[in-house]
Amino acid sequence: MIPSPLNDFELTCPVPISDYPVVLLAHGGGGTLTHQLIERMFLPTFKNPLLEARHDGALLPAQPGKCAFTTDSYVVKPLFFPGGDIGKLAVCGTVNDLAMCGARPAFLSAAFIIEEGLPMAMLWQVVLSMQAAAQQAGVQIVTGDTKVVDRGKGDQLFITTAGVGIIAPEQVISPQRVQPGDAILLSGDLGRHGMAIMAAREGLDFESVIESDCAPLTDLVFSLLDAGIEVHCLRDLTRGGLASALVEIARSSGHHIHVDEKAIPVREDVRGACEILGLDPLYVANEGRFVAFVAASDAERALAILRAQQAGDAAVIIGQVQSTRDHSVTMRSVIGANRIVDMISGEQLPRIC
């Protein structure tokens, strides 16, 4: 199903595959091989002046306003899946966390924990994918680290990225700003990332290939902010999915959230896969979807802005913040009954991101 990642990347790998077909412990030892990896693979690919200064730390230019600072470790299994890989995920996930604070993603760090024996061409594919995602999201990878652990003490590759984003001085995006009447916009269909990972991991063969929705959300978010839409709160729908995001925002804001199940787009193949696996698409992780709480008066304009872009062409208004202060989430189901939406207690899908 997934093409072998080694076909195309062995040929272009800047570390000679003939000498180093796999990553060795010494590639993380701080000596000659570490330098080779940095000088040949990381520096020319992530190419930017801050990184090329080769300091222990990158020197970031002074910023006029507040910054947002965030981190995530990525341990997704398998490393490659339809629609993305751990590298794309490690850039998009952290970029999206920044965008959800209303911060324009600017600088990323990347720390690799590699299991000895990882095919060098696989590392190369991941690095290329990180750079492509960084370019799309408008961020620079400015500092990093490489560690190698012995065979059997890791799982091929873990990546931890941290990000710094710049917040416009007047911008406040927070659950505390959510107010009764706010419209709740959803940027696209649900459940594809989780189902893509599950299918790849379990070797499930559905009629169509479900591709992850993994993508940077920077452009969508800033198209709203730059147009002066009164955005009160943003949340990406990763672990725990839409349901958990809404429950968290209802609790933090103290307001009742009501959504309409009929309005929530889920592709037929995703819905089918969820049914087979006994999963609820509302709880499945996405990596390129978010909800925006916007002032009611701006709702239609916000929707039009999102829909005008390819990444947001399936955006919808799914509900509204109610004036009752019971901080619960309710949903009108497709058959017309109201039900309470709660947080999931256990683990739905481990190592999804």
Q: Of these, 37, 89, 101, 186, which contacts a second copy (CB under 8 A)?
A: 101
Cα–Cα nearest to 232, from 252, 259, 260: 252
Q: Does 162 bind a second copy (CB under 8 A)?
A: yes
Total site size for a second copy, rule CB under 8 A: 76
Please name every residue paired with 105 in a beta bridge, in sequence order, or none if there are none. 165
Taking the complex as a whole, how short is the minimal distance between the CB of residue 5 and a second copy, in angstroms?
Answer: 19
Pairing of strands 67-74, 157-167: antiparallel
* Residue 227 CA to its chain's centroid (Å): 24
Q: Does 59 bind a second copy (CB under 8 A)?
A: yes
Cβ proximity to a second copy: between 111 and 296 the closer is 111
Cβ proximity to a second copy: between 72 and 182 the closer is 72
Q: Does 58 bind a second copy (CB under 8 A)?
A: yes
Q: Which residue carries 């698409």 as its tokens? A: 281
Q: Does 147 bind a second copy (CB under 8 A)?
A: yes
Q: Binders of a second copy among 290-319, rule CB under 8 A?
A: none
Instruction: Compute CA distances 186 → 23, 67, 126, 195, 337, whole Å.
Output: 42, 26, 30, 19, 21
Cβ proximity to a second copy: between 62 and 337 the closer is 62
Taking the complex as a whole, how short is the minimal distance between the CB of residue 64 and a second copy, in angstroms?
Answer: 7
Give the type of residue at 351: R
DSSP annotation of 117 reads: T
Site stretch for a second copy (CB under 8 A), options 2-10, 21-29, 38-46, 200-208: 21-29
Q: Does 287 bind a second copy (CB under 8 A)?
A: no
Q: Binders of a second copy among 194-233, rule CB under 8 A?
A: none
Cβ proximity to a second copy: between 70 and 320 the closer is 70
For residues 107 and 94, give the distance between their C-alpha atoms in angstroms, rounded to a whole number. 10
Site stretch for a second copy (CB under 8 A), options 105-113, 185-193, 264-272, 317-325: 105-113
Cα–Cα nearest to 235, from 97, 68, 70: 97
The sheet carrying 257-260 orders its strands as 231-236, 290-294, 183-186, 316-321, 257-260, 329-332, 338-341
Q: 79 Cβ partners below 8 Å, 6+ apart?
A: 5, 85, 86, 122, 126, 156, 157
Quickly list DSSP for 173-186: --GGG--TT-EEEE
x/- letters, 33..52, toward a second copy (CB under 8 A): x-------------------
Q: Of these, 61, 203, 228, 336, which contacts a second copy (CB under 8 A)?
A: 61
Q: Of these, 144, 216, 281, 288, which contacts a second copy (CB under 8 A)?
A: 144
Q: Does 29 bind a second copy (CB under 8 A)?
A: yes
Q: 204 Cβ partners below 8 Å, 6+ apart?
A: 198, 273, 276
Q: Binders of a second copy among 228-257, rule CB under 8 A?
A: 235-236, 238-240, 244, 252
